Amino acid sequence: MLNTNVTLAQSGVLFGTSGARGLVEQFTPDVCAAFTHAFVSVMQQDFTFDTVAIAIDNRPSSYAMAQACAQALAQLGLKSQYYGVIPTPALAYVAMQQNMPSIMVTGSHIPFDRNGLKFYRPDGEISKQNEQAILSNQVAFSALTELDPLTVNPNAAQQYIQRYVNVFSNTLLQGKRIGIYQHSSAGRDIYPELFSKLGADVVTLERSDVFVPIDTEAVSEQDCQKALDWVTTHKLDALFSTDGDGDRPMLADENGHWLRGDILGLLCSKYLNVEALAIPVSCNTAIEQTELFKTVKRTKIGSPYVIEAFASLLSQYSTVAGFEANGGFLLGSDLSLNQSQSSLTALPTRDAVLPVLAVLALSQATGIAAQVAHLPQRYTHSDRLKDFPTDKSKAIIATVHASPQELLTTLGVNADELIHVDATDGLRLTLVSGLIIHLRPSGNAPEFRCYVEAGNLETAKQWVANVLTAMTRTLANM
236 with 249: CB under 8 angstroms?
no
Q: 476: how many CB neighbours lie within 10 A of its CB?
A: 7
Residue of 463, 465, 445 whose CA lies nearest to 455: 463
244 with 208: CB under 8 angstroms?
no
- Residue 37 and residue 4: Cα distance in Å, rounded? 7
Q: Catalytic residue among 11, 108, 184, 303, which?
A: 108
DSSP lists the bridge partners of residue 431 as: 418
**What is the separation of C-alpha 378 from the centre of its chain, rounded to a whole number of angstroms?**
22
Residue of 214, 178, 212 whose CA lies nearest to 193: 178
Query: How many residues are given for the chain?
Result: 478
Alpha-helical regions (H) of 298-403: 303-314, 353-362, 368-373, 390-402
Active site includes 108? yes
Q: What secondary structure, in 3-state letters, does 67-93 show?
A: HHHHHHHHHCCCEEEEEEECCHHHHHH
| Residue 329 DSSP code | E
- Residue 433 and residue 455: Cα distance in Å, rounded? 9
DSSP lists the bridge partners of residue 48 as: none
| Residue 394 DSSP code | H
Residue of 437, 421, 337 whose CA lies nearest to 382: 437
Kindly list the catalytic residues: 108
